[in-house]
Chains A and B, each alone.
Chain A
Amino acid sequence: MGILSEYISFMLERQDQIMELTAQHIYLTFIAVIFAILVAVPLGIFITRFERAAGVVVGIANAVQALPSLALLGFLIPVLGIGSKPSIVMIFLYSLLPIIKNTYTGLANVDRAILEAGRGMGMTNWQLMRMVQLPLALPVIMAGIRISAVTAVGLTTIAALIGAGGLGQLIYRGISMVNNKMIITGAVPAMVLTLVVDYILNILERAVTPKGIKKSKR
């Protein structure tokens, strides 16, 4: 019997708990990232229209990103208390920047000649955005969402510190009990979760790449 099987049996004993914490972990990440998408994509679209706002918005998102996550949690606790609420807000704030940035660059990099052709053919701004700019920028936007989501899975482990639950809980308990098995029991599923999220979003990213562009890249 090696160390490996020891770990496995340790994990199997806590199967139910792991499943529950994983579900919680997914839930926290999911809610935060969905909100981030809902806010960041329109914000990214908005700043391509109002170039002057772009610097301010990206600057603020950058500053938030630069703030240590522990400190951010600290700031949020007096306002939102402990538990899942401040955690979701923290993850949400961290997820904004990559999505805003990628939405902005994706839209800004659409060939000007194509936009002019569209405008010259009588497309309204809204039609241009919906029928031309967004479809062409979607792969880049999706890449931003992927970065955010993968980061968010990692961040959610920190959320356990203020009682939000998730796989971080096992890790913290392991640390305080100096129990490596416990740490690994939390870390391995978190790692797997990160890889799975990355994998799924990668597939999604390719799926939204317009056919005509995929072929030209080959």
Chain B
Amino acid sequence: MIRFEGVIKRYGDTEVIKGIDLEIQKAEITILIGPSGCGKTTTLKMINRLIEPTDGRIFIDGRDIAQLDPIELRRNIGYVIQQIGLFPHMTVAENIGLVPFLKKWPKERITERVEELLELVGMSPREFMNRYPSELSGGQQQRVGVARALASDPEIILMDEPFSALDPITREQLQEELFNLQQGLHKTIVFVTHDIDEALKLGDRICIMKDGHVLQFDAPEVLLKNPAHGFVEEFIGKKRLLRAPELMKAEDVMIKDPVKAHPRRTLAQAVEIMKSRGVDSVLIVDEQNKLLGIATARDISESFDRKKRLEEIYAKNVISVRPDETLSNVMKIMAEENIGYVPVTKDNGELVGLITRSSLINVLGKRYFQKA
């Protein structure tokens, strides 16, 4: 649908786009993402020729856009920018109807289309048509922005961080609406964002850019499973990788600062430590932080004597797992051994964390919560 061939953009001596080859698929949401200055917005604006490439060619449906009239080209591509893009002196209806007006549609057809689009983005035409942008909330303004981009029913829609100025709740709502809208419209959407959550939520394909290069251009699942580049992995973030459960490791779900105590501590002290941290067990470690065993509140209360020390009562030979153990193995071990705690240790026995039933529920629960 949209093809970049060796596209380069230079401003004086600085090269901001360093040779991009891209094939953007029809009827998909393609996300351009990367840190600021990576060239994502420049790439987007080259599609409607707001920025002209220094070198290379861009094709839409096999036609070199450099050969097309830029005004005509832009009227056939929807364009949404951050919320300020609405014309403040025009009503909602005038804003939405602008491109059809420029295309000299008859008046009745424009009005009809405006009403249809307002309905589509969930705003009552009667109530909103004659309002001005300043009379709308941020979310409503951007809904109008989306409706305006759809006005002449373009094949392609470019969105330049359209939701970034909105508050988080409105943003999520609009992301959801855009996603649902797309299920019915099947537009070719190119969407610039710096928010990886937004990218994963909306993108059929995600193009990760850095310093004017495309690092990886893949479906979100592929990105999560096989980040092609150290930067991609870093950019997506470890936490995000957790969302693919087969990729979760013991170290991803463990509590990183478990409650621990030295074996020479008295039982009274151990009780204090547990109380202050609100837990019912304590891991026993030596001076080198090597795991020796575990003492539970029950063990302690069964043989309670203020003067006794932990070393006399704690359970040795605890089952532990390595940090890179897969989550499914960890759960298997916990089920088979019927234990509620699994300490995580390095090969040399050094304690790095603790997995408990509640930490598991926390992590897995968050995963489903975020998906919903």
Q: Which residues of A contact B (CB under 8 A)?
A: 111, 113-114, 116-124, 127, 132, 135-136, 210-213, 215-216
Q: Which residues of B contact A (CB under 8 A)?
A: 45, 48, 50, 71-76, 79, 81-82, 84-91, 98-99, 102, 132-135, 148, 158
* Interface pair A211/B82, CB less than 8 Å apart: no
Contacts of B89 in A (CB 8 A): 132, 135-136, 210-213
Contacts of B102 in A (CB 8 A): 121-123, 127
The docked-state distance in angstroms from the alpha carbon of A217 to that of B135 is 11
The docked-state distance in angstroms from the alpha carbon of A123 to that of B71 is 7
Interchain residue pairs A-B with the least CB separation, the first 9? A210-B89, A212-B132, A216-B134, A122-B75, A122-B74, A117-B85, A120-B79, A113-B84, A212-B88
The docked-state distance in angstroms from the alpha carbon of A210 to that of B88 is 8
A-B contact count (CB 8 A): 75
Contacts of A216 in B (CB 8 A): 88, 132, 134
* Interface pair B133/A119, CB less than 8 Å apart: no
Contacts of B87 in A (CB 8 A): 114, 117-118, 132, 212
* Interface pair B48/A120, CB less than 8 Å apart: yes
* Interface pair B132/A121, CB less than 8 Å apart: no
* B40 to A: closest C-beta gap in Å: 16
Contact of A120 among B74, B82, B88 (CB under 8 A): B74
Contacts of A117 in B (CB 8 A): 79, 81, 85-87
* A56 to B: closest C-beta gap in Å: 26
* B49 to A: closest C-beta gap in Å: 9
* Interface pair A121/B90, CB less than 8 Å apart: no
Contacts of A114 in B (CB 8 A): 84-88
* Besides A120-B158, A212-B87, 12 other A-B contacts (C-beta < 8 A): A114-B84, A121-B99, A121-B148, A124-B71, A135-B89, A136-B88, A210-B88, A212-B90, A212-B132, A213-B134, A216-B88, A216-B132
Q: Can you report 9 residue pairs joining A to B where beta carbons are below 8 Å apart? A: A116-B81, A120-B48, A120-B81, A121-B98, A122-B74, A122-B76, A127-B102, A135-B89, A212-B91
